[in-house]
Amino acid sequence: MNKAKTITDHWLDDARRVPSPNYNQRPEGEISLLVIHNISLPPAQFGTPNVEQFFQNILDANEHPYFEEIADLQVSSHLFIRRTGEVVQFVPFNERAWHAGLSSYGHRDNCNDYSIGIELEGTDDIPYEDIQYQVLAEVSQALMTEYPEIAPSRISGHEFIAPRRKTDPGRAFSWQRLFHDLTRNEDLT
């Protein structure tokens, strides 16, 4: 059994910190939604330093043709879960990371204002790793403990809060597995 993940001062204790400049203050301080995304840079290439560089605004646009398209974007998420299970944190949870863009959840706009964004290293079509599901469930459980307004019913995908604009985490992501793992983690606590 893995040790439960913990949060101190809005940082996940065992995450590697790579601060991003792409955040600002939450307008009301509320944290009540968890949004799951996917990202890989270049698309479908894993294990590169490019996601971290992208969220830090230091991605070399000349390194890959796709990077030219995204070079001027200023985005971030709170967490990035690599295919190895390593967790990288870019923004403290009490701040507003710029991950959701134009979005709505439950007839409420601007999800960045009240959500935590978690990026999984992956694509819509390539199955995620077992360790990513395990770590995502552990992290989600820690977030629900620390921020009680987040409940399993308030975990969503980018594709659901920005329909017709976003497709992640995609058809390769198993929501059933995530919720099964969350239930199992609750039983162990």
Q: Which residues have a catalytic role annotated?
A: 119
Give 3's DSSP letter: P
Q: What is d(CA 72, CA 148) in angstroms, rounded to the nearest whole number?
A: 36
Q: What is d(CA 152, CA 184) in angstroms, rounded to the nearest whole number?
A: 13
Q: What is d(CA 19, CA 6) in angstroms, rounded to the nearest whole number?
A: 19
Q: What is d(CA 115, CA 94) in angstroms, rounded to the nearest whole number?
A: 10
**What residues contact 13, with CB distance under 8 A and at least 6 apart?**
5, 6, 7
